[in-house]
């Protein structure tokens, strides 16, 4: 497995990480815990050293799963988790990035993750009620106390990134980026490059769409959040099929899979980009890891660029979209 450094930091991770959210939350019923522990440990065997979770996934159950799975290999891996939501009666209940809350979350996450330090601590969403300087200051204190190693932001806009970075250097930004969501190329990626911040794209396979396994007739489980995503309406899926068709065509030419092409495209964009595809299936994990060895030619990349500019549909319903890009 190749390694990459997140921006100018000394945080070195595998070129592909593993997003663990879907094992407990978000994409239908939670998977079997023992199966997921085995899957996470298999990822370590395959060379993955970067694992992503958050207190709100479950809530809490995903951190507990990741903590248990990685406890025997804790020194070999990098664990990222997130703060910034209020959790009431086992449900997400708005944002809360007050400094005292950040410190409480850090202590609770350390326990669930069975560790004495969190490698990368992200603000999950920008809280409009708390100045980002106060958030960065709280994380800076946690770093000074040895509870946190690195500070991250998720779905933050360029101005927020700059303001946070001035108080406590930001090691990584986690936001959605893929062949069918290229918004970060306008302002975010140039900002990260200038400041020396790594980029960790989530949903690098377009929430499953770029694998070629979803079409306009696919039905999702009632608890699957793709049911409310405008980009997953049957009409949008039909319109976006052209992007997937081209990814499939290039995959066939190279004797690889569409998912591997989509991940290889992301890896080819910048050397400090580390995608975190999620899966609950061993064969998908092996397939994703295989993407690090795929070379896309300049012609492949330009073909993919032109197809991807045609993607249709908003990536979030309006109330979720309001939480991004501040």
Cα separation, 153 vs 173, in Å, equals 5
Cα separation, 171 vs 191, in Å, equals 13
Cα separation, 66 vs 70, in Å, equals 6
What are the tens digits of pLDDT across the range 122-163? 999 999 999 999 999 999 999 999 999 999 999 999 999 999
Q: Class for domain 3-207+266-294, per CATH?
A: alpha beta
Strands 148-154 and 170-176: parallel
Residue 132: asked if its preceding bond is cis (omega within 30°), the reply is no
Q: Do 285 and 43 touch, CB atoms closer than 8 A?
A: yes
The DSSP symbol for 218 reads -
Q: Where are the domains of the chain?
A: 3-207+266-294
Which of 57, 122, 177, 316 is the catalytic position? 57
What are the tens digits of pLDDT across the range 286-302? 999 999 999 999 999 99
Q: Show the low-confidence residues of the chain (pLDDT under 50).
A: none
Beta-sheet strands, E only, within the chain: 3-5, 12-14, 18-19, 50-52, 78-83, 85-88, 91-95, 118-123, 148-154, 170-176, 198-202
Q: Which pLDDT score, from 0 to 100, does residue 310 have?
A: 67
Is residue 122 part of the annotated active site? The answer reads no
């Amino acid at each position: 497995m190749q390694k990459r450094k997140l921006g100018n930091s000394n945080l070195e991770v595998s070129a592909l990480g593993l997003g663990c959210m879907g094992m407990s939350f978000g994409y239908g019923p939670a998977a079997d815990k023992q199966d997921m522990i085995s899957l996470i440990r298999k990822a370590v065997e395959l060379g993955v050293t970067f694992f992503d979770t958050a207190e709100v996934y479950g809530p809490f159950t995903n951190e507990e799963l990741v903590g248990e799975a990685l406890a025997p290999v804790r020194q070999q891996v990098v664990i990222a988790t997130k703060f910034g939501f209020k959790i009431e009666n086992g449900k997400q209940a708005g944002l809360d990035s007050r400094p005292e809350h950040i410190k409480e979350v850090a202590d609770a996450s350390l326990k669930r993750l069975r560790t004495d330090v969190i490698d990368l601590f992200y603000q999950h969403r920008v809280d409009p009620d708390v100045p980002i300087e106060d958030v960065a200051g709280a994380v800076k204190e946690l770093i000074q106390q040895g509870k946190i190693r690195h500070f991250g932001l998720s779905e933050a806009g360029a101005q927020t990134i700059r303001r946070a970075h001035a108080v406590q250097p930001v090691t990584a930004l986690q936001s959605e980026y893929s062949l069918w969501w290229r918004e970060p190329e306008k302002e975010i990626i140039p900002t990260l490059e200038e400041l020396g911040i790594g980029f960790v794209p989530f949903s690098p396979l377009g929430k499953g769409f770029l694998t070629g396994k979803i079409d306009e007739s696919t039905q999702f489980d009632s608890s699957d959040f793709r049911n409310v995503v405008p980009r997953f309406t049957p009409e949008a899926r039909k319109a976006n099929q052209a992007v997937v068709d081209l990814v499939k065509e290039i995959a066939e030419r190279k004797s690889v899979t569409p998912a591997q092409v989509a991940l290889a495209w992301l890896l080819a964009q910048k050397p400090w980009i580390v995608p975190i595809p999620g899966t609950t299936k061993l064969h998908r994990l092996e397939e994703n890891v295989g993407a690090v060895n795929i070379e896309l030619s300049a012609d492949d990349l330009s073909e993919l660029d032109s197809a991807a500019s045609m993607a249709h549909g908003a990536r979030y319903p309006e109330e979720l979209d309001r939480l991004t890009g501040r």
